[in-house]
A and B are shown apart, each in its own frame.
Chain A
Amino acid sequence: MTMTVIWTGMVVLSILCGLATGQGPAVASAAVEGAAAAVELALSIAGMLCLWTGVMEVMRRSGLADKLSRLLAPVLRRLFPQAAKDQDTMDSISANVSANLLGLGSAATPLGLEAARRLARRSPGTASDSLCMLVVCNTASIQLIPTTVASVRAAEGCTAPFDILPAVWLASALSVGVGIGACKIFARIWRD
């Protein structure tokens, strides 16, 4: 329903605003161009995107994700102190985070939901500190190779679509760091 409100609002607002600013005809032609542009965009990024999901499948089958997940376990125990003693929960959290790092989005969500279900058992209906941490870690992007955006850049004729990697890592690390820090601070000061 939320998207219904947002989408309808956007359409109505653009018609009203277009009429008010004298851009009515432009809005009318945009209404038919947008749909075509969506399909063109999807087609232009399809090749590179599918190549990457292929490489990721190779990565998943070779056990790289499991290896990474074992590597992350000690770090994650410090982020989720209340869940640290529960091995099964920690396993799903590690698997979720490593799938996110490798860009295995479709694998990450079910693993994350499994972890969330386990964490939610301790406090039904209310988000515990650990659950907030898990959700915030999943709302921040930690994907090491941002393949979709690189596909878009390549489609626009960029010869080095991955030259933004260092900038993406820097921005992601700061964003995740602040998210984790905010969780730790809120956990101390939040009063319901």
Chain B
Amino acid sequence: MDLLFTMLIPLTIAAIALYAAGRRVDVYSALVQGAGSGLETLTRIIPALIGLMTAVYMLRASGALELLAAALAPLLDRLGLPSELLPLMLVRPISGSAALGVGAELISTYGPDSQLGRTAAVMLGSTETTFYTIAVYFGAVGITKTRYAVPAALCADLTGFLAAAWAVRVCFE
């Protein structure tokens, strides 16, 4: 099973390349062009990453996050959520770059293969930047009465966090 998941990625890449080549797609030039657009995306997020990671680093150094985490720890414990991951859960719905920065910080502090590091990774992988997405969609089509979109989306986010902690426990113990 472990080998399967290790090989899943190279096998997926090979399968996509073979399928595309079979359909007469110029695989290599598509790959290189796509990688170039990835670099563009990255340069687009770096400025936001700089701004937000500065603020997040300051907030962490000030002890404010620890105070908040300590205050909410009993509640989080009852839900099965580690309080160390509270900063990630707080920024996740607001900013994708900030969440990436906080998540990377947690993964580096606790190690990518630790329970906390894995849970942080799964949380990042199974949730989205909810408020940003809602603002983009409703802003673009001129919706002012959003009705139940926000509560429904937050139900999904909370479930994503709870499920991430639970899924890591199930898959890695």
Interface size range of chain B in the complex: 35 or more
Asked if residues A17 and B54 are in contact (CB atoms below 8 Å), the reply is no
Whether A80 is near chain B, meaning CB under 8 Å from some CB there, is no
Number of A-B contacts (CB under 8 A): 349
Asked if residues A41 and B100 are in contact (CB atoms below 8 Å), the reply is yes
Nearest residue, chain A, Cβ from B23: A62
CA distance A53 to B13 in the complex (A): 12
Nearest residue, chain B, Cβ from A42: B46
Whether A168 is near chain B, meaning CB under 8 Å from some CB there, is yes
**In the complex, which residues 93-118 of chain B have their Cβ closer than 8 Å to any Cβ of chain A?**
94-95, 100-101, 103-105, 107-108, 111-113, 117-118
Given A49-B38, A64-B16, A174-B159, residue A158 in contact with residue B113 (CB < 8 A): yes
Asked if residues A38 and B101 are in contact (CB atoms below 8 Å), the reply is yes
CA distance A126 to B127 in the complex (A): 26
- A46 contact set on B, CB distance < 8 A: 38-39, 42
Given A7-B51, A162-B5, A172-B160, residue A183 in contact with residue B145 (CB < 8 A): no
Dominant secondary structure at the B interface? helix
B61 interface neighbour in A6, A26, A186, Cβ under 8 Å: A26
Asked if residues B159 and A178 are in contact (CB atoms below 8 Å), the reply is yes
B134 interface neighbour in A23, A53, A135, A153, Cβ under 8 Å: A135
Asked if residues A41 and B104 are in contact (CB atoms below 8 Å), the reply is yes
Nearest-Cβ distance from residue B126 to partner chain A, whole angstroms: 4
Nearest-Cβ distance from residue A144 to partner chain B, whole angstroms: 10
Asked if residues B16 and A59 are in contact (CB atoms below 8 Å), the reply is yes
Which residue, B27, B37, B58, B59, has most C-beta atoms of chain A within 10 A?
Answer: B58
Asked if residues B141 and A64 are in contact (CB atoms below 8 Å), the reply is no
Asked if residues B104 and A152 are in contact (CB atoms below 8 Å), the reply is yes
Q: Could you list which residues of chain A lie within 8 angstroms of chain B, going by C-beta atoms?
A: 2-3, 6-7, 10-11, 13-18, 21, 23, 26-27, 29-31, 33-35, 37-39, 41-42, 45-46, 49-59, 61-64, 106, 109, 112-113, 116-117, 119-120, 124-127, 131-132, 134-136, 138-141, 143, 145-146, 148-150, 152-153, 155-158, 160-168, 170-172, 174-179, 182-183, 186-187, 190, 192
Give 20 new A-B contacts, CB below 8 A, not counting A39-B46, A167-B172. A14-B64, A17-B64, A30-B58, A31-B54, A52-B38, A57-B35, A58-B31, A61-B25, A139-B128, A139-B130, A156-B108, A156-B112, A157-B112, A158-B112, A163-B5, A164-B118, A165-B5, A175-B157, A192-B145, A192-B147
